[in-house]
Amino acid sequence: MPTSQERPPTVIVVIPTYNEAGNLPVIAEQLLALPLDGLRLLVVDDNSPDGTGKIADGLAAGHPGRVEVVHRPGRQGLGRAYVDGLSTALAHGADYVVQMDADLSHPVDAVPRLLGTAEATGAACVIGSRYVPGGTLAAEWSRHRRALSAWAGLYVRTILRMRLRDVTAGFKIWRAARLAELDLAGVSSGGYSFQVEMHYRATKAGMTIVEIPIHFSDRHAGASKMGLRVQLESALMPWRLLFKR
């Protein structure tokens, strides 16, 4: 009989959703097919009008013990969804917690590499990076979008003096014990700036963050949620973090 030390690590993949009915079944199937015995999926749905929450419930019913759903009363932003999802994953005994978008822009087959790197290096966080050597972007991205993404990263790194190449990355794995040290309840970001705030908190706490290359694909289906309000919060958040320090 295997000892507790020999059991596979519990890896909980947290995926926030809002109107991702076309993507969620696809990414769930791919994740559950990975050769990781301890992998579980946690969907955090913001009461999606397109029925994503019901689809998530169907997945949970079809995969008891492997898929769980957190239903939130409405759209409150990516950052708040992640706070709820990561907190739930920690409460449910995760050894590692993966952050991942539902839109299939993040490569599912890179999850084992994230885990393997985290275990090999002992890092608190391993990022799937678009901007380290070997990382690539979707061919569908226009020059304008590429330039905007690169500028956003430079902007954040310059203000907060972080050495990460992909400081706005949303695809990563956390070592649960270190994630628990970051006071999730105190996170102030509501939108995509959550990624920057978490990287900044980990960096200031002296945690090791490793980046490995991935291919970042274009959204599979549905529409982006990056509206003007989210963009403004993302632009202001580095300054808020700097002055808060």
Give the mean pLDDT of the chain: 88
Give the CA angle between residues 17, 97, 116 to the nearest 5°: 125
Gap between the Cα atoms of 71 and 123, Å rounded? 31
Gap between the Cα atoms of 182 and 188, Å rounded? 12
Calculate Rg over the CA atoms of the chain: 17
What one-character DSSP code corresponds to residue 4?
G
| Per-residue pLDDT band at 220 (split at 50, 70, 90) | low
Cβ–Cβ under 8 Å, residues 98 and 84: no
Gap between the Cα atoms of 15 and 103, Å rounded? 10
Tens-digit pLDDT profile for residues 133-190: 999 887 777 777 777 777 777 777 878 888 899 998 999 999 999 999 998 988 877 7
pTM (two decimals):
0.87
DSSP assignment of 39-78 equals: EEEEEEE---TTSHHHHHHHHHHHSTTTEEEEE-SS---H
Dig out the tokens for 54 from the structure: 């019901």
Gap between the Cα atoms of 165 and 157, Å rounded? 8
Per-residue pLDDT, averaged over 9-22, amounts to: 97
State residue 221's pLDDT score. 58
Tens-digit pLDDT profile for residues 94-116: 999 999 999 999 999 999 999 99
Is it the case that residue 67 has pLDDT exceeding 90? yes
Is it the case that residue 222 has pLDDT exceeding 80? no
Is it the case that residue 76 has pLDDT exceeding 90? no
More reliable by pLDDT, 18 or 144: 18
Gap between the Cα atoms of 129 and 172, Å rounded? 9
Minimal CA–CA distance to 170: which of 125, 139, 208?
A: 125
Q: In what order do the strands lie in the sheet containing 96-99?
A: 67-71, 39-45, 11-17, 96-99, 172-175, 125-129, 209-213
